[in-house]
Amino acid sequence: MSKALHQLEERFTYGDYRIWPDAERWELIEGVAYDMSPAPSRSHQGLITEFILQFGVHLQDKPCRIYAAPFDVRLPDGNENDDDISTVVQPDLVVVCDRKKLDEKGCKGAPDLVIEILSPSTASKDLHEKFRLYERAGVREYWIVHPQDRTVMVFRQEGELFGRPDMFDEEGRIEVPLLGELIIDLKRIFSRL
């Protein structure tokens, strides 16, 4: 599990986060800082690469864009200034269709689709804290990739909550109606392992 850095009586904000050393990777969830070290494994990066290839080819000439970590997603609680935002995450992959949410710092507001690839150091946070965070923020689809099991759970918004997940194994194909005619071939994804 990634280590949390707690401060007594004070929460961290994006204003604090922006002045931390560039060589370190952190996420803030409701003011609590989580160390993102160590860097993802080679197989983790291979999965990300294949997702980018499949999504990227489909999204050419479309308004939606895909981004890979490190890419800051700022999730404000309301209308606070950037420096006062207490939640900044770096999902493995995000798809953003509303270009008004994009700026040179990353994304401000909920991406349309988030993919997290589980690793031993982040699995608990991805399955619990980030699940609740993405649900509350209004992420339309949240995919959790289990490299060891070669499975993907796809949660889709139903009202204000995620519905029951659709489960896919390494032979599956995920239709993504959110993005038109896109179908993700998991056999190709998991061949990167």
pLDDT at 8: 38
Q: What is the pLDDT of residue 36?
A: 83
| For the chain, domain boundaries | 40-71+88-191
Whether pLDDT at 72 is above 50:
yes
User: At the fourth CATH level, which superfamily is domain 40-71+88-191?
Assistant: tt1808, chain A (3.90.1570.10)
pTM, two decimals, is 0.92
pLDDT tops 70 at residue 191: yes
Tell me which of 132 and 22 has the higher pLDDT: 132
Q: Per residue in 118-141, pLDDT tens? A: 998 889 999 999 999 999 999 999
Using the predicted structure, report yes or no on whether residue 101 has a pLDDT greater than 90.
yes
Average pLDDT for 26-34: 92
Residue bearing the bigger pLDDT, 187 or 1: 187
What mean pLDDT is predicted for residues 68-77? 96
Contact (CB, 8 A) for 115 and 143: yes
Range from 74-78, 110-114, 118-122, 186-190 carrying the lowest mean pLDDT: 118-122
Output the pLDDT for position 38. 77
Nearest-angstrom CA–CA distance, 42 and 172: 23
For residue 173 the two structure tokens come to: 């194909």
- In this prediction, residue 159 has a pLDDT band, given cuts at 50, 70 and 90, of very high
The three-state (H, E, C) secondary structure of the chain, written as one string: CCCEECCCCCCCCHHHHCCCCCCCCEEEECCEEEECCCCCCHHHHHHHHHHHHHHHHHHCCCCCEEEECCCCEECCCCCCCHHHCCCEECCCEEEECCHHHEECCEEECCCCEEEEECCCCCHHHHHCHHHHHHHHHCCCEEEEEECCCCEEEEEEEECCEECCCEEEECCCEEEEHHHCCEEEEHHHHHHCC
